[in-house]
C-alpha cells in the first residue's frame, strides 16, 4: 500500500506552486474575452490568390476605418478578424431569412480589390446586451455547478461524520483545476491572442464534471473502508482507497487524453481551444483527485490546518513578547 497521505504536504505543495502561478497569470494578464462577452463582430476569411500576412491584413483593416480590429491566423492563409460591431450585421440571435447588405460586404469587396479572391467562411455579431447576458449566465452556470456538487456529495456521504467536508474538498479540487486552466489561457491570451468564448465555459464545466467524477470514486472507496472498520486510522483508509483506485483513474484519464490528442491533430481550428481546455483540465483533474482533494481531506480530519495556525500564532506571540 502506497503512503499517499504521509506525503500529503509534498502533493499539496506541488499543486500550490502551479495554483499560485496560475493566479499570478490571471492577475497580471487576465483572460482575453471573445465577442460573446465583449460584443462586436467576427469573421473568418481565406485568401485564394496570394499569401497575405497578419501585418498586411491588420493594415488593410486600419485603412478601412477599423484600427481596433484584431487579426489572428487560424490556418494557411486563413484569418479570424474581430472588430467592433459592424453596421447592418446579422446578430447571433437574429431570425432566419435573407440578410441585407451591410458593412461586412464593403469590407469584403475592399479586401478582394487589395489581395485578390477570398472566401468568407463565417460571420457573426453579438450586441452589448447579448454579451452581458451570456457573461452573466456563464458565471451563474459555474457557480451553480460548484454548489450542486457540494450539496450532492454532502448528501451522498451523510452517513459519515462531517460529511460536508467531502463536498468541500471536492469543490476545492475543482477550483484548483479551473484556476490552472484559466491561468494557462491567460498566458496564451497575452502571448498568442487566444480568446475565451462560450466553448471555453462549456469545456470548463466538462473538466469540473470529470474532476468530481474521479474524486467521488476515491471518496466512495474511503467510505467503504471506514464503514467496514470504523477504528481504522483515517490516513490508512485514504491510502488504501487511493492505492485501489489509482490504476482505474490513470487508465480512464489516459484513454480520454489519447482521444483528445487525436482530435487535436486531425480536428479543425474552431475546436482547438475547447480541446486544449479538456487536455489540461483532465490532467489537472486526475492529479487533484489524488493529490488535492484526498490530501486536503486528510489534513482537515487530522487538524493539520488548526495545528499550523496555532503554531503561527504562537510564534507571533513569542516575537511580540521578545519585542
- Across the chain, which has 323 residues, the per-10-residue mean pLDDT values are 86 94 93 78 89 90 88 84 77 48 86 91 74 76 86 88 89 92 92 83 87 89 88 90 90 92 81 90 93 91 76 67 64
Q: Judge if pTM exceeds 0.75.
A: yes
Q: Looking at the structure, give the CATH architecture of the domain made up of residues 5-33+130-311.
A: Up-down Bundle (1.20)
Reported as type and span, the H/E element at residue 222 is: helix 198-228
| Residue 198: predicted pLDDT | 80
> What's the pLDDT at 323?
60
Q: Fold identical between 5-33+130-311 and 40-126?
A: no
Phi, then psi, of 99 in degrees rounded to 5: -105, 125
Of the candidates 79, 76, 74, 77, the one whose C-alpha atom is nearest the C-alpha of residue 61 is 79
Choose among 214, 204, 225: nearest CA to 293: 214
- Give the integer Cα–Cα distance in Å for 291 and 139: 27
Task: From the options 3.30.1490, 3.10.560, 3.30.70, 1.10.150, give the CATH code of 40-126.
Answer: 3.30.70
| In the chain, domain spans | 5-33+130-311, 40-126
The pLDDT score that the predictor gives to residue 199 is 85
Question: What is the structure's pLDDT at 321?
Answer: 66
Dihedral in degrees, nearest 10, Cα atoms 96, 270, 282, 163: -20
Amino acid at each position: 500500500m502506497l503512503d499517499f497521505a504521509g506525503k500529503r504536504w509534498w502533493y499539496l505543495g506541488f499543486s500550490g506552486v502551479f495554483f499560485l502561478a496560475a493566479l499570478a497569470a490571471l492577475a497580471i494578464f487576465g483572460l482575453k474575452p471573445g465577442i460573446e462577452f465583449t460584443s462586436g463582430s467576427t469573421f473568418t476569411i481565406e485568401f485564394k490568390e496570394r499569401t497575405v500576412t497578419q501585418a498586411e491584413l491588420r493594415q488593410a483593416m486600419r485603412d478601412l476605418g477599423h484600427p481596433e480590429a484584431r487579426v489572428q491566423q487560424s490556418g494557411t492563409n486563413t484569418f479570424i478578424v474581430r472588430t467592433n460591431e459592424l453596421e447592418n450585421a446579422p446578430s447571433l440571435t437574429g431570425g432566419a431569412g435573407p440578410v441585407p447588405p451591410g458593412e461586412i460586404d464593403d469590407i469584403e469587396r475592399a479586401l478582394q480589390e487589395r489581395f485578390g479572391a477570398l472566401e468568407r467562411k463565417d460571420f457573426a455579431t453579438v450586441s452589448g446586451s447579448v454579451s452581458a447576458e451570456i457573461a452573466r449566465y456563464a458565471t451563474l452556470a459555474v457557480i451553480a455547478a460548484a454548489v450542486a456538487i457540494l450539496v450532492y456529495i454532502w448528501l451522498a456521504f451523510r452517513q459519515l461524520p462531517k460529511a460536508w467536508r467531502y463536498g468541500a474538498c471536492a469543490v476545492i479540487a475543482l477550483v484548483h483545476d479551473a484556476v490552472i486552466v484559466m491561468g494557462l489561457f491567460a498566458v496564451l491570451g497575452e502571448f498568442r491572442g487566444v480568446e475565451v468564448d462560450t466553448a471555453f465555459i462549456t469545456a470548463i464545466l466538462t473538466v469540473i464534471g470529470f474532476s468530481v467524477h474521479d474524486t467521488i470514486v476515491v471518496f466512495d472507496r474511503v467510505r467503504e473502508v471506514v464503514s467496514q472498520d470504523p477504528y481504522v486510522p483515517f490516513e490508512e483508509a485514504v491510502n488504501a482507497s487511493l492505492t485501489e483506485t489509482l490504476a482505474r483513474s490513470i487508465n480512464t484519464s489516459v484513454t480520454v487524453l489519447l482521444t483528445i490528442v487525436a482530435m487535436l491533430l486531425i480536428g479543425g481550428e474552431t475546436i482547438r481551444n475547447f480541446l486544449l481546455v479538456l487536455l489540461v483540465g483532465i490532467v489537472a483533474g486526475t492529479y487533484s483527485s489524488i493529490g488535492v482533494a484526498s490530501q486536503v481531506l486528510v489534513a482537515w480530519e487530522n487538524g493539520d490546518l488548526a495545528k499550523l495556525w496555532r503554531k503561527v500564532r504562537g510564534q507571533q506571540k513569542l516575537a511580540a513578547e521578545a519585542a
